[in-house]
Chain A
Amino acid sequence: MSFNQENLNYRIKEFPRSLNLLGWGLLALGVLLIVVSFFVDRTRSSFNILVSFMFLMSIGLGSLFLVALEYVAGAVWSTPIRRVSEFFSTILFVIPLLAIPLYFSMHEIFHWSHTEIVRQEPALSSKSPYLNVPFFVIRTLVCFAVWLLFYLLIVRNSEKQDKLKDQALTTRNIRFSAIFMPVFAITITLAAVDWMMSLEPHWFSTIFGVYYFAGTILAALASATIAVVFFIKRGYFTNLREDHLYSLGALLFAFVNFWAYIAFSQYLLIWYANLPEETTWFLLRWQGSWKIVSIALIVIHFVIPYFGLLSQPSKMNPGRLLFMSVWILFAHLFDLYWLIMPTFSRRGVVLGWMEFAFPIAAVGIVIILFTLKAKNTNIVPIGDPKLQRGLDFRL
């Protein structure tokens, strides 16, 4: 029996009420805690917002990249699950909103935003043509706008195809996606430099954009895998096979290694050359209890996912894959925490209820946006000409 049109016309999918409740509940709890935390410690809250903001950006932007990548590469196996990544990329709509509190607390977060201090320090004043508040705001807003533009261009065509079944829409999307690739490379680098590298304005590393990219793709792949397994368990993706899950697992495994490769390259080169202008960044993460976090990062972000995904069965078993995906998503959050929070607390680790409040709200936002979008859209791109080939995909 093939996947014909009758059993594909399911626009409305019943999601368990508990999922919706969970999303709103997490968001409400998170927001409540956030409001309290802003009264308790404004600076710490601002840094925490940045961590969750980057986390959401990773999932949203990475998912849009995965959608574009499928079009450019002409991939077939991922067509039945492409909608999942399209749903996640709706996060890009809330990114500008979440940036608003960050714009208002720039003085707390970014050392370089204090013009009086910058003027006295030659190393910083030489950067001020780039690192200044107006240019920063313009740059980041342009990035948000560009991402939303490409979201609208690509995802709208994809949804239009459900009704029109027009192959020309695929051709058009391939073009948009190809143009998106260099745009994505530049904007994600700017985002990484602006929001995270400039936290330590003296420090610089040419690989930093690639480092954030590696984490972004992991976050997007992990989110997609979680949603796919959820849909399979609900019985929505009846025609998916282990072969599709295997492909997702293999990509996760590949990017776990890619992240480790990039992180190791950055660390080794800075350690080996031992230049004080570069080593400060790692020394800060070796200070006091940050040392434990640094070592834990290697275990959490590389060792455990590496062995957890190495064998073939672990990439095919939905339960195990789900566990590893949740783990990797957490690892990415942990990575962002390691990248951002040492600037706030130089002496040692800071970890309290506040550090959990913001990610709770972030997870709530992801669940709500995903269910809202998935409720009103086909969860399989039924008009896509590659769909049948994707369902027939076999390793």
Chain B
Amino acid sequence: MSIDYSKEFSVIEGKPTLAEINDLIARPTETRPDRGYYIALTITLSMLLIGIVCLGLTFYYGIGMWGNNQPVGWGFGIVNFVFWVGIGHAGTLISAILFLFRQKWRNGIARFSEGMTIFAVMTAGIFPLIHVGRPWLAAYLFPYPNEHGIWVNFISPLVWDVFAVSTYLTVSLIFWYVGLIPDLASLRDRTTGKIKKLIYSVFSLGWRHSNRHWHHYEMVYLVLAGFATPLVLSVHTIVSFDFAVSVLPGWHSTIFPPYFVAGAVFSGFAMVQNVLIVVRKIFHYEHIITIDTLEKMNKIILLTGSMVGYSYGMEFFIAWYSGNPVEQFVFINRAFGPYAWAYWIMVTCNVISPQLFWFKKIRRTIPVMFVIGVFVNVGMWFERFVIVVSSLSRDFLPSSWRYFTPTPVDLGILLGSFGFFFTWILLFIKTLPVVSIAEIKGVIEGSQIEHHAAEDSTSFRPRQQEGM
């Protein structure tokens, strides 16, 4: 096996024409959903319904329906919140950071992951609301001069969360929509239905694919990418502050901010990889979302998984190194205490399973990578479970130690959150282009301008050497 490094390989396989790209990506939005789609939608809606029933029970009887108990005040509500916010991290990483790093392979997966980000953050938003127990009072989390004179506590990370997550959702939404405008215009020009035409016309904002439009568009996109990049870091950093600013052993650790960010990207990539493996098969996008693209995603999963592993190791080492007996107890308790089962699921799924991606063959075998992707998300859910529950269930006072057991309502709400998320995903892939038509056209072989180095006026060539 030898690779020619002197040539750049196209991220798209084959040489599809522009019209073919239009047809292929627009087809799902123009055809009637088939039977499989309805079956999938039935499943996700059923899951969502179970979640709604469980939420109804919670609202009617109160939070006593959950497994939370005296030392474990943060149960599934916070675990699920952190999990879903984490899933929502890959989107902005792919669309903003990889864009700034000029990674062309992102073009095939950016649109979907941006959409996924929005749905994941929406799902995540449910949990703090229900976790506070009185969701109807949540509006007071926004600092506004109200007649009750209620003002937020600005040094509470919960308030920072409100700002961080709502900013993130807003910017992600704008970023996603701005990226959609040229594609909506393409759909507008293709569609025959009157109502569809009206909707696409309104939302494409009069886009005419003119040179000037593109010029402004590229500028806006670059600026938005710059704005979105710090947000990738800030949101999960602030989620990590929810834990790390406390004085609870196992939560208070200075590595939490970058560790949470790495973990979030890790789980988000695994989710994007999983769903796209299915989507590319059903919609026949194999030459757009190529096996090379999936391999690159797997490399990022390996990288971020190893960062998470580094953080686990560092926490363990420093717990010993600190010489603090309480700190040491917490970590021994995690690995060998009553929650050892959860801890070892976490380590196996998060640290060990992605290491298989060191092998090229595994990086390029779809069934194996799919399974590893599922493992990663299971592991990342358990990571949050271990952090939240194991630290709380055995606090400073041994007489108050209690084991946390989730109730069926807890599990129902978790299931419902998956139903909510995947329902949105299903609606999305059938109503909007799941791959960016415009960006894919930009990376087809031959669409880029050829450069000639020496003829460029900006090169640092001294005048007298011109004839060389």
Chain A interface (Cβ within 8 Å of chain B)? Answer: 1-3, 7, 76, 122-124, 126-127, 130, 167-168, 170-171, 178, 181-182, 185, 189, 193, 204-210, 232, 235, 237-243, 250, 257, 261-262, 265-266, 268-270, 272-275, 277, 318, 384-386, 388-389, 391-392, 394-395
Contact = CB atoms under 8 A, between A and B. Distances in A.
Given A261-B237, A385-B4, 13 more contacts: A189-B314, A209-B314, A232-B460, A241-B458, A261-B258, A265-B258, A269-B253, A275-B252, A385-B6, A389-B6, A389-B8, A394-B451, A395-B102
Nearest to A124: B323
Given A241-B456, A262-B258, A269-B245, A7 B468 contact: yes
B5 A386 contact: yes
Nearest to A185: B310
Contacts of A250: 100
B460 A168 contact: no
Nearest to B467: A1
21 contacts: A127-B321, A130-B321, A167-B2, A170-B5, A193-B321, A207-B255, A208-B254, A210-B258, A232-B460, A240-B460, A241-B458, A261-B233, A262-B258, A268-B241, A269-B254, A269-B256, A270-B254, A273-B246, A275-B252, A385-B5, A385-B6
Contacts of B454: 1-3, 239
A3 B255 contact: no
A250 B252 CA distance: 33
Given A261-B233, A265-B258, A385-B6, A238 B460 contact: yes
Q: Which of B241, B306, B323, B455 has the most CB of A within 10 A?
A: B323
Contacts of A385: 4-6
A179 to B, nearest CB: 9
Interface in B422-468: 451-456, 458-462, 465, 468
A206 B456 CA distance: 48
A237 B459 CA distance: 9
B465 A391 contact: no
Given A207-B255, A210-B255, A262-B258, A241 B460 contact: yes
A242 B461 CA distance: 11
A273 B252 CA distance: 8
B167 interface: no
Interface residues of B, number: 49
Contacts of B4: 167, 385
A361 to B, nearest CB: 32
B462 A238 contact: yes
A129 B103 CA distance: 46
A126 B322 CA distance: 9
Nearest to A242: B458
B460 A126 contact: no
Interface string B262-298: 0000000000000000000000000000000000000
A7 B306 CA distance: 43
A171 B246 contact: no
A3 B323 CA distance: 60
B324 interface: yes
A392 B453 contact: yes
A314 B8 CA distance: 30
A348 to B, nearest CB: 26
Contact of B453 (A185, A239, A261): A239
A167 B5 contact: yes
| Shortest 9 CB-CB contacts between residues of A and residues of B | A206-B255, A385-B5, A385-B6, A207-B254, A1-B454, A265-B257, A272-B245, A126-B323, A207-B255
A268 B245 CA distance: 8
A233 to B, nearest CB: 8
A395 B102 CA distance: 8
A261 B324 CA distance: 27
Interface string B358-382: 1000000000000000000000000
A385 B5 CA distance: 6
